[in-house]
Amino acid sequence: MKDYKYLFGPVPSRRFGRSLGVDLNRYKTCSLDCVFCQLGRTTEKTVIRQEYVPTDMVLSELKDWLKTDGRADYITLSGSGEPTLHSGFGEILKFICSESTIPTALLTNGTMLYLQDVRDAASLANVVKISLSAWDQASYGWVNRPHPRLLFDNLVEGQKALREQFNGQLWMEVFLMGGINSMPADVRKIAALAKEIAPDRIQLNTAVRPPAENFAKTLSIERMEELIHLFQPTAEVIAEFSAKHANYIQANQETIFSMLQRRPCTADQIADIFGMHLNEVSKYLGNLVSTDKIITERKNNAVYYTAKNRLNNDYLHSPKNIT
């Protein structure tokens, strides 16, 4: 793939197979600062909707990709922050729908869905994945650390309103962490709200990759499976992506580095994602370490590899609020 500025992949996705990512934000521009975020702490917490990256440049890259490659299971609006903060995300979805038959997915935390124009734009996607990991304002505060202007009731009402007007597939992710929001009584409260919102699918996730905060602890698969029947429809535990879904994505040092710029991974995870032998993965990782492009982090008794420029970005930008 060409070295695009706003497109990445196609990358393996646990939910969407071979997914072309469209990144509409500067790094970690988000309305939340979730303790479990695999991208680290939010450096630009805001609820202002504007053109964070040039819409015309994104459309130009999409046009070129569709002409020169155009192979993916989904085109996904996701990336380095909350995509619905970008004022032109609806225009981008409209372009993809008019120029391609590849289905689109919008991965949103749902905080902006209380706005009608955001719901109208979101409804252009084939799949909208929303998030719900709290049950009231207090839990919202310690799990998601929202911008001060955001209210939990608006989050829930916005998701309900989208469900009423959206004819596509509405998926919900519930992120559970040990000692924070995984007690059965608390999960029942989340499940009750999820039932009111009525998504087509509910997916339970946990901190498999290094989270923003060390206290965001992984919940075991066994424990999560005990909780799936609290939800209607019955929730599913989303597993790590299997390489069998990505047989045409050929890995090399550049593709591995590109993935590590987006998210930290272990050597085993990289081998599974790309269907490679662990020895081959180790060779590429060794080259990247020796050329000072990646570094290692030890978390949860596992060694994760992370692009060095990604970590530098974390350290150079302290969290701030933009109002």
Name which of 74-83, 163-172, 302-311 the model is least confident about.
302-311
Model pLDDT for residues 250-288, shown as the tens digit of each residue: 567 888 888 888 778 888 888 777 767 676 787 788 888
Any idea what the CATH number is for the domain that residue 311 is in?
1.10.10.10
Distances (CA, A) of 252 to 1, 67, 138: 12, 23, 45
Q: In which band, very low, low, confident or very high, does the pLDDT at 242 lie, cut at 50, 70 and 90?
A: very low
Label residue 153 exposed, middle or buried (CB < 10 Å: 0-12, 13-18, 19+): exposed
Q: Same domain, yes or no, for 299 and 169?
A: no
Q: In which band, very low, low, confident or very high, does the pLDDT at 48 lie, cut at 50, 70 and 90?
A: very high
Model pLDDT for residues 91-124, shown as the tens digit of each residue: 999 999 999 999 999 999 999 999 999 999 999 9
- 188, 135 contact by CB (below 8 A): no
- 182, 176 contact by CB (below 8 A): yes
Q: Can you give the residue range of the structural domain that contains 303?
A: 250-323
Label residue 98 exposed, middle or buried (CB < 10 Å: 0-12, 13-18, 19+): exposed
56 within some domain = yes
Q: Same domain, yes or no, for 258 and 234?
A: no
Q: What is the pLDDT of residue 283?
A: 76
Check whether the bond before 264 is cis (ω within 30° of 0).
Answer: no
Taking the C-alpha atoms of residue 89 and residue 61, their distance in angstroms, rounded to an integer, is 14
2 within some domain = no
Q: Same domain, yes or no, for 136 and 230?
A: yes
169 within some domain = yes
Q: Same domain, yes or no, for 235 and 261?
A: no
The CA-based angle 80-83-85, given to 5 degrees, is 115
The conformational region for residue 83 under phi > 0 = left, psi -120 to 50 = alpha, else beta, is alpha
- 245, 234 contact by CB (below 8 A): no
1 within some domain = no
Point out the domain boundary residue: 243, 266, 293.
243
Q: Same domain, yes or no, for 205 and 91?
A: yes
Q: Same domain, yes or no, for 24 and 164?
A: yes
Model pLDDT for residues 224-238, shown as the tens digit of each residue: 999 999 999 999 998
Taking the C-alpha atoms of residue 321 and residue 295, their distance in angstroms, rounded to an integer, is 29
217 within some domain = yes
Q: What is the pLDDT of residue 321?
A: 38
pLDDT mean over 290-301: 81
Q: Same domain, yes or no, for 99 and 37?
A: yes
Say if strands 302-307 and 294-299 run parallel, antiparallel, or are unpaired: antiparallel
298 within some domain = yes
pLDDT top residue among 49 and 314? 49
Residues 6+ apart with CB under 8 A from 271: 277, 278, 280, 281
Point out the domain boundary residue: 187, 213, 243.
243
Counted residue by residue, the chain has a size of 323
- 266, 303 contact by CB (below 8 A): yes
Any idea what the CATH number is for the domain that residue 90 is in?
3.20.20.70
What are the two backbone dihedrals, phi and then psi, of residue 204, each rounded to the nearest 5 degrees? Answer: -90, 135
Give the chain's domain count. 2
Point out the domain boundary residue: 227, 243, 259.
243
